[in-house]
Structure 1
Amino acid sequence: MHFAFAFAFAALPFLTAASPLVETVPRAEQIIPITKRALHRRTDGTVNATLIQDNIDRSVAKIRRGFEIYERNTGSVHPLASSLRHSKRATGSDPLTDDDAQLWYGTISVGTPAEEFTVDFDTGSSDLFLPGPDCSQNCEGHKTYQPRSSSTSKSLGKSYSLSYGDGSSVSGTQYQDTVSIAGLTATKQTLGSSSVYSDGFASDQFPPDGLLGMAFESISDYQAKPFFQSLIAQNKVIQPVFGFKFAQSGSELYLGGTNSDLYSGSFTWVPVTEAAYWQVELGGLAVNGKSALRSTAAIIDTGTTQIVGDPNTVKHIYSQIPGSKSAPEYGDGIYTVPCDFNTPISLTFGGRTFQVDPSTFNIGEVSSGTCIGGIGSDADISDEFWIIGDVFLTNVYTAFDVGNHRVGFAALA
């Protein structure tokens, strides 16, 4: 999504190039804090590994769906589509609970007069949806969008169904309406008014009311501009950039520029190789200074908890981590590490190496002294692309430059 003015969204700082952005409004008006909800932890503090597995499954299913939408919208096969395998895997989990593992959400307003809603901000999808007035399945506890109460709403007479790989879906009717975040307003923004939420979107699993996608229009199921691109097209933002900072506290999304208080030094920029997802080139991954992954494509996805790769490479990586073990009892592609894990792990982008702090690589404890590792695998993923989620993103300030089709990483302040 794209915002007018230098604007920060809750819980995610706004990214900028190495040169500082010009700010024209007070910073307090540019930043909206966002909240993290880590639902993969039980009340006793241990990790619900099933939800970690679900997060992997759902992330891969989301990528697959985006490839299909890309082909429908552009008439061309996505360059990475052939590298995504089609395997059948038994699971009792609803893939939509994947987003429940870790959500970053904040507040938007919709309609005239404006009504506030909470949404999950997801760089791995492109559409905005909310529960609608006719939603009768899993919408209790969510605030519903009432298009008839908004003087600026307009039904587009089109339905939508966003599926997540196992038959689970969100479906409803497309509308246009006014959508705002912290004073940044897009008019005639396409959004979904949902009549059905799958079980994974029930309020005890998915606290926000809806979801707001921040990837590119080519994977929009609505075939419409995502929110942030609408802000750019309507000249509502100073710069076509948004930034994220993920942390236990002080997280924010910054729209229209970057928050220089939250990072130090300059950004390392990596070009987007295909404007669908935020897809860039990962230069490599090293364990204890030794290369464990060659250069490959990478999708930067705020909706994914772990770093997700192909089974063979992930197995090789863990073979270099003392005390690590494959843990199929917790799910396919899940590994454990000692909770006092301190093996250096780094990722390289644009020729610059970024360290992954052991505290962020450690997802959490599953039994005494045993914790879930921050890299997982999926049988459908090949070594031609990986998914880079929060385990890495919590170590850097990340800028998403829509205008120049590039992603920037900087050291946290």
Structure 2
Amino acid sequence: MINQHNIPEAAELFTSAFYSQRDANSPESFYTFGTNINSSDCFWKFPSASVSVKGKIINLSGNKAIADTGTTLVLVSDEVCEALYNAIPEARYSPTQQGYVFPRSTKVEDLPEFKVAIGDKQFVIQPQDLVFAPADKDNWYGGLQSRGNLPFDIFGDAFLKSVYAIWDQGNKRFGVVPKIEETQNLDPTPIA
């Protein structure tokens, strides 16, 4: 519809809300304004100049990110990976798994609060989404991994499940609305 010019430019929106089987049936939320994007290289890049791990802010001056519905994980700098996984008992980088893992015995309440910035506001990634999948019989593969040599972060589904995302094509900005935690079922999903 946008390509056919059937929608006025100022009204071109794309929204997304990712849910997991843990979410309640009738969530309520609130609206926050978006941040301008730079689409000069075909990505909707936005400023993401900080993260926080257990309340400790890590400044990432000049850092950019994109939100991507086609990426499962959150991909960030090595500095951010190390800060997060240093806050999880017995977490480590696994050369075999080519990523960070931590024990499957880790309780959800033992996972650190982790937030990423969209513009100048930070948004939490739910602790359960710091877990991607079993790496082996003893470890989880983390939902947040290194971006390697990419010059920007990628906030994939592990982030997008915690927010409602708004791609405002008409105004060239990206916004998110946090899902209110009280409406989410945060019980861990059993893995068969």
Q: Which runs of 5+ in 2 are unaligned?
A: 181-192
**For each residue in 1:257-293, what CA deviation from the matched residue of structure 2 results, as whole angstroms up to 9, or x when unmatched?**
xxxx765111231110234212111131111111235
**For each residue in 1:170-212, what CA deviation from the matched residue of structure 2 results, as whole angstroms up to 9, or x when unmatched?**
xxxxxxxxxxxxxxxxxxxxxxxxxxxxxxxxxxxxxxxxxxx
**Do structure 1's residue 365 and structure 2's residue 134 form an aligned pair?**
yes
Which one of 124, 132, 137 corresponds to residue 355 of structure 1? 124
Alignment correspondent of 1:302: 69
Which is bigger in relative contact order (C-alpha 8 A, separation at least 6)?
Answer: 2
Q: 2:162, 2:17 → 1: CA distance? A: 9
**Structural mapping, 1:187-202, within 5 Å:** none
| Contact 1:314/1:377 (8 A) holds in 2 | yes
Alignment correspondent of 1:266: 31
Alignment correspondent of 1:230: 3
**For each residue in 1:378-405, what CA deviation from the matched residue of structure 2 results, as whole angstroms up to 9, or x when unmatched?**
43224xx211111111100000000000
| Contact 1:293/1:313 (8 A) holds in 2 | no
* Amino acid paired to 2:92: K
Q: 1:354, 1:307 → 2: CA distance? A: 13
* Amino acid paired to 2:3: S
**Structural mapping, 1:39-78, within 5 Å:** none
Question: How far does residue 352 in structure 1 lie from its aligned partner after superposition?
Answer: 2.2
Q: 1:262, 1:395 → 2: CA distance? A: 12
| Contact 1:245/1:262 (8 A) holds in 2 | no
Alignment correspondent of 2:81: 314
**Structural mapping, 1:338-349, within 5 Å:** 338-339=103-104, 340-341=107-108, 342-349=111-118
* Amino acid paired to 2:46: V
| Contact 2:20/2:161 (8 A) holds in 1 | no
Question: How far does residue 236 in structure 1 lie from its aligned partner after superposition?
Answer: 7.7
* Amino acid paired to 1:388: F
- Alignment identity in percent? 23
| Contact 1:336/1:372 (8 A) holds in 2 | yes
Please give the secondary structure, in 2, of the residue aligned with 1:265.
coil
Question: How far does residue 249 in structure 1 lie from its aligned partner after superposition?
Answer: 5.2
Q: 1:270, 1:297 → 2: CA distance? A: 12
**Do structure 1's residue 280 and structure 2's residue 46 form an aligned pair?**
yes
Please give the secondary structure, in 1, of the residue aligned with 2:84.
helix
The total of aligned residue pairs comes to: 172
Q: Structure 1 pair 378/236, CA: closer, same or farther in 2 (3 Å)? A: closer
**For each residue in 1:286-310, what CA deviation from the matched residue of structure 2 results, as whole angstroms up to 9, or x when unmatched?**
1111123514100111111111123
Normalised by the length of structure 1, the TM-score is 0.38
Question: How far does residue 337 in structure 1 lie from its aligned partner after superposition?
Answer: 2.0
Q: Structure 1 pair 263/368, CA: closer, same or farther in 2 (3 Å)? A: same
Please give the secondary structure, in 1, of the residue aligned with 2:148.
coil
Which one of 97, 111, 114 corresponds to residue 330 of structure 1? 97
Bigger share in helix: 1
Runs of 4+ in 1 over 6 A off after TM superposition: none
Q: Structure 1 pair 365/250, CA: closer, same or farther in 2 (3 Å)? A: closer
Q: Structure 1 pair 230/250, CA: closer, same or farther in 2 (3 Å)? A: farther
Q: 2:97, 2:45 → 1: CA distance? A: 29
Question: How far does residue 407 in structure 1 lie from its aligned partner after superposition?
Answer: 0.6
